[in-house]
Amino acid sequence: MRRHLIELVLFSTYAELRAEAARSYLGLIWWVLEPAMMMGAYWLVFDVILKTGGADYIPFLLIGLTLWQWMKQCITHGGYAIWSSLPMVRQVQLPPIVFPLIAMLSDTVKFFFIFLLLVVILWALGYPPNAAYWALPILFFAIFLAAAGAGFIVSALVPLVPDLRFVIEQVLMVVMFLSAVIFPLDQVPPSLKGLMALNPIAVVMDDARGILMHGQLPNWVGLWKVYVISIVLCAIGVASVRAFAPRFPKLAS
């Protein structure tokens, strides 16, 4: 049964990606073009207009936004997956957790296309692949676990209170600005640096930039803490979806 469920998730992820590519004239290009436009907007505002960047700001910003966009999409698309699939939840005998998982895996596949483009851009800017790249899968898995845990929690709550979608969008915007996505930690006032260091997103952002820009291995102690937090989030998220699963088929679409 578990094997068939895994095969179903993988096939559904593939089908979702094909359907999404077919819905747009740009197809696969839009997966890369959309985040590229967002990166360009942030670069224009923070580096060109506000002059808050520096010599390394472009790669710094590209890395942060690429990872953040992946996390945000996993949380939002995964978080809304059960709510948007309520008619199917009523008709098929599947664990509801399947729906957010398919959405998150789809976003992860798209992320790897964007990441390949990011590596090419970094190479062109003078940051070629280095020996520390072997640590990237470990870092990426920690990021996926954290995003999946948050996404599962959101997916359990949104069908019950659909208006939470609007709150979550605003919360994620605040989290982005508190996670060193668009500014370096050394610009944070000393009184707040300790608090920022407790943010797991800020930790993985710093580690990713260390690997991609400077060939530095992650802070393993900090990354281990991120793994612990992510596993706890996943456990809470899965338990929440299971707890509310009997109520989902009774909810209005």
Residue with more model confidence, 156 or 90:
156
Q: Per-residue pLDDT averaged across 138-167, rounded? A: 93
> For residues 120 and 180, which has the higher predicted lDDT (pLDDT)?
120
Task: State residue 124's pLDDT score.
Answer: 86
Listed in sequence order, the residues at least 6 apart from 49 whose beta carbon sits closer than 8 Å to its beta carbon are none
Out of 96-100, 109-113, 188-192, 238-242, pick the least confident.
188-192
Which one is predicted more confidently, 249 or 237? 237
Per-domain residue ranges for the chain? 2-250
Token code pair at residue 20: 């999404």
pLDDT interval class at 138 (50, 70, 90): very high
pLDDT of residue 154: 95
Least confident of 43-47, 152-156, 180-184, 214-218: 43-47
Cα dist from 224 to 67, 204, 227, whole Å: 19, 11, 5
- pLDDT band at residue 80 using 50, 70 and 90 as cut-offs: very high
Note the pLDDT of residue 30.
Answer: 61
Condensed to tens digits (0 to 9), the pLDDT of residues 220-237 reads: 998 998 999 999 999 999
Tell me which amino acid residue 202 is: A
Residue 174: what pLDDT?
84
* 160: helix, strand or coil: coil
Higher pLDDT residue, 63 or 7?
Answer: 63
The pair phi, psi for residue 239, each rounded to 5°, is -65, -35
**Over pLDDT 90: what percentage of the chain?**
36
Range in 15-29, 91-105, 110-124 with the lowest mean pLDDT: 15-29
In angstroms, the Cα distances linking 236 to 77, 149, 150, 151, 229 are 18, 7, 9, 11, 11
pLDDT number for residue 65 = 87
Cα separation of 119 and 115, whole Å?
6
The CA distance from 151 to 214, in Å, is 31
**So what's the pLDDT on residue 40?**
72
Q: Contact at 8 Å (CB) between 218 and 210?
A: yes
Write the DSSP string, 29-75: HHHHHHHHHHHHHHHIIIIIIS----TTHHHHHHHHHHHHHHHHHHH
Residue 53: per-residue pLDDT? 62
